[in-house]
Structure 1
Amino acid sequence: MSFKEVREYAAGDDVRFIDWNVSARFGHPYSKIFEEERELSVMLLVDISNSSLFGTHYGLKRDVATEIAAVLAFSAVSNGDKVGAIFYSDKVEMYIAPKKGRQHALYIVREILSLEAKGKGTRLNTALKYFTNAIKQSSIAFVLSDFIDANYEDALRVAGKKHDLIGIKIYDQMDQELPNAGLMQLVDAETGNTQWVDTSNAYVRKNMKSSFLKQQHIV
């Protein structure tokens, strides 16, 4: 609730809301009037690191993140709320301040589609710290990422004390389970390192799935 104005006291007004300073000045009782603060700020923290450019089934992870971000952005502006965004890799690539309006939501979606990451890795920790410092008012924040990262738990807790945080994990089927396709050369999209993996080995596939599920639990 936020203060709106004062008016002369009327029968039935809550005496707890009498403004004694104004009442003394005018010689009549005056009541404070409040209105509900409905306006929210919705923030989208979108991982645009090179790992988001991977996809084997539905599309690239970036494509999936774009669709989800578009739904969230247009839902926010349809509700009369502000929406902003932070695009990050191992650094903050771009910050878009929260604003209202359909054109602003379209601008956010266009930037997700076109912005190329300059950073080489992924650091959610950096994005969360920037978010906490940049957005002072309590907001609802959606983190769209594959969460292939580490050491962001402390920053997550700090941001969570002030804002409502919702994590949306974006992943491909091959992030979870390797196909039985024999010897494959895999390339790390962020470091460029290559590794040969024998996907026909059941133990290798099991380890891959176990690692994914363990990381899923952390998120």
Structure 2
Amino acid sequence: MSSQPLSPGIHITLGELIDMRHKVHEVPLFSTPARRSPLAGLHHSKLRGRGVDFDQVRVYQAGDDVRTIDWRVTARTQEPHTKLFHEERERPIFIIAEQSQRLFFGSGLCFKSVLAARAAALIGWAALGHNDRIGGLVFADNEHHEVKPRRSKQSLLQLLNLLARANQALGPESQANTARDNFGLALRRAREVLRPGSLVIVLCDERALSDNAEQQLTLLARHTDLLLLPLSDPLDHALPAAGLLRFTQGGAQLELDSHNGDLRQAYRAQAQAREARWQRLAQKLGVPLLPLSTQSELVEQLQEQLSTLHSRKSL
């Protein structure tokens, strides 16, 4: 496979995904001795098995989970103390990355399919550098491929190769399977293969959240930790007033008058409803939500998202 870009921003190569390892130091996704990630310990009470290790006990502070109170130390000192945990080394991290036809679109810096692949690669390299076991599942319109979590560069390269191949298979003439809930099927497969205590990174189109997918995420969250990264493009949220717009797909054609104010308002309302649904789900499950857009650079978005997350935890 060529390491040279096929169509910058439209398709991705394996070489570009490998090069994402140079950006890991810019985004504190996982804890290091010198830097503590805002993601560390966000919802450790939901982990099962060997997902976390006990770290230390300290005086209870406002906002601490009451379920982690150390009652023996509290009784002995007559002052509330809570247990602290840190992420276990070699924790299984499983990346679910979409590469379907609905992601083969973009009006910003790149296509959504490219953004998903870059984010998956960045997270994969960060996990490997954190000494975690890395694997994942790449799903397209009619198939999916998975890699069992292992602590090896070969495992990550296998996953990146699958991502690049799936990405390069996308094209304007490809047909999307709209009758099949590929996201829901991928989540169901993850539930079947993952052990309790795993961390699941979900990279999918913002529009992928069907009723079935939401149910599968809820079930998956019972035994694993989740990090949700829905992907969108500016044109997913607002139509420009550009006159008559023509869309074609598989021989079908659609015309929209973008000068119609009611149409643009209804379009925005649908996008706002999708965003609100992701927010409600993340709040219900108690998991981080980091939406990504093709409008900005990936590293800058993650830095801003993690900074906001850290600020919320500090309140």
Q: TM-score normalized by structure 2?
A: 0.54
Determine if contact 2:147/2:155 at 8 Å carries over to the other structure: no
Determine if contact 2:146/2:159 at 8 Å carries over to the other structure: no
Determine if contact 2:91/2:133 at 8 Å carries over to the other structure: yes
**Which residue, 109, 116, 123 being the options, matches 1:65?**
116
Q: Hey, which of these two has a bigger chunk of strand by percent? A: 1
Alpha-carbon displacement from aligned partner over 1:25-73 (angstroms, at most 9, x marks no partner): xxxxxxxxxxx95321111111111011111111110111111111100
Q: Tell me whether 1:194 sits opposite 2:253 in the alignment.
A: yes
Letter in 2 for 1:120: N
1:84–1:57 distance in 2 versus 1, CA, 3 Å: same
Match of 2:58 in 1: none
Q: Tell me whether 1:54 sits opposite 2:113 in the alignment.
A: no
Match of 1:43 in 2: 94
Match of 1:162 in 2: 223
C-alpha distance in 2 between matches for 1:60 and 1:113: 14
C-alpha distance in 2 between matches for 1:119 and 1:130: 21
Alpha-carbon displacement from aligned partner over 1:85-133 (angstroms, at most 9, x marks no partner): 1112355511111112334323322321212378624532111110000
Alignment RMSD: 2.2
Q: Tell me whether 1:148 sits opposite 2:207 in the alignment.
A: yes
Residue 194 of structure 1 and its aligned partner are, at CA, apart by: 2.8
Alpha-carbon displacement from aligned partner over 1:117-156 (angstroms, at most 9, x marks no partner): 7862453211111000011242111110113231212111
**Which residue, 173, 185, 189 being the options, matches 2:246?**
185
Does the residue aligned with 1:38 lie in a helix, a strand or coil?
coil
Residue 78 of structure 1 and its aligned partner are, at CA, apart by: 0.3
Letter in 2 for 1:133: E
C-alpha distance in 2 between matches for 1:218 and 1:143: 16
Q: Tell me whether 1:85 sits opposite 2:136 in the alignment.
A: yes
C-alpha distance in 2 between matches for 1:146 and 1:164: 20
Letter in 2 for 1:112: L
1:119–1:134 distance in 2 versus 1, CA, 3 Å: farther
5+ residue gaps in structure 1?
3-35
Determine if contact 2:240/2:258 at 8 Å carries over to the other structure: yes
